[in-house]
Amino acid sequence: MPFQIVRNDITKMQVDAIVNPASGLPGYGAGIDKAVYEAAGAEALYKRRAEIGRIECGAAAVTEGFALPARYIIHTVGCPWRDGLSGEENIIRLCYRSSFAEAAELGIETLAVPLLASGNFGFPKGIAMDIALSEIREFLDTHDLTIYLVVFDDESYSYSSERFGDIDAYIDSNYVAAVTDEEYGHFALPSTSFFSEAVKRKPSEDRRPERRKGGLFKSIRKSLEAQVEDTNDEIADFSVGASTDACSAPMMGMAAAAPQSKPAKRLEDVVKNLDKSFMELVFTYADEKGITDVELQKKANINRKAFSKLKCGTTKNPSKPTALCFAIALELSLDETRDLLARAGLALSPCSRQDIIIQYFIERGAYDMFAVNEALFAHGEPTIGDVEA
């Protein structure tokens, strides 16, 4: 199942095949199609495309990759955005399905696909992303290969503030406290839960430029100034873990609602699991929830090789991203997630935006790996899954 969103030039992807948003007739248009022709060798690719002839809208055809790192190019023909009422979404869905069908026929293991119709065809970015994620999800439910959704430029995520406003507010209310000590040193503020010792850990220096990018530094300063001006009573009411309804934005498979609480674990359950290793606890949870090994591997967005190493004990403890994948796949509560991570000597960090975003989803009981990875990518954080354990 593994699926990743990556920022790259699709012509440079080291995969078995790439999908090219092509012209219906031999020859190339602007954008990705032109880049594919130039990187593959325009003359050789045009000659092969001429042999195929016309490709209908929504259909796909395969050529060799020629000079590309990829062995194959799957050409598919989309359509421009009109008004959303002219069947254009269905055509783009057909493009994904036709391309995936060709990939399955080729028997490949890795496929790179761009965000179809989001460029020159003018599809709204959010709609283009929803189509891509839903079609990729459906295909991977029944096929075992790795798909990379390749986004080349920042413009493709220019809509992220609309799509992830609720997460942005959550990051501001949680992450701002964790970086206060680094940005402002020993600047004194009233003693509250906002400045608990748990969030005063020193992040690595290489995170500072990334945090300041996109206005996050401004949001930190603004929040701090507001804290100074507020009364002590108002400050005491501020909770690091509180959620906000501001800028709420719906996402696939989750609702931007208040955190969902789960029943507290019984003492006997806690004691029973005390001596279990990371993977022993993973399989205990899986058995309790009736999740098979194959289902767990797919839901966790982990490739079979990495999963097998963990299962057989070749890899004793997982990387943190892999551990978080298991927590999401098993739909663990926040306390259960922390306990599971601790078995591998890991922990959720208040100084990591990646951790805070994942915590946001877990608190809300929103265990959609596709939505989690989309949110991570949109916020410039590494996605999780399809990694070596």
Catalytic residues: 33
H/E stretch holding 13: none
H/E stretch holding 335: helix 334-343
CB 21 within 8 A of CB 116: yes
* H-only helix segments in 122-277: 125-140, 160-163, 165-184, 208-212, 216-229, 232-236, 267-272
Q: Encode burial over 97-130: b for 16+ CB neighbours within 10 A, e otherwise.
A: bbbbebbeebebebbbbbbbbbbebebebbbbbb
Tokens coding 321: 């991203």
End-to-end CA distance of the chain: 15
How far apart are alpha carbons 122 and 362 in whole angstroms? 34
**Residue matched to tokens 């609480």:** 261
φ and ψ at 277, to 5 degrees?
A: -75, 180
Q: What letter does residue 263 receive in the DSSP assignment?
A: P
How far apart are alpha carbons 54 and 45 in whole angstroms? 14
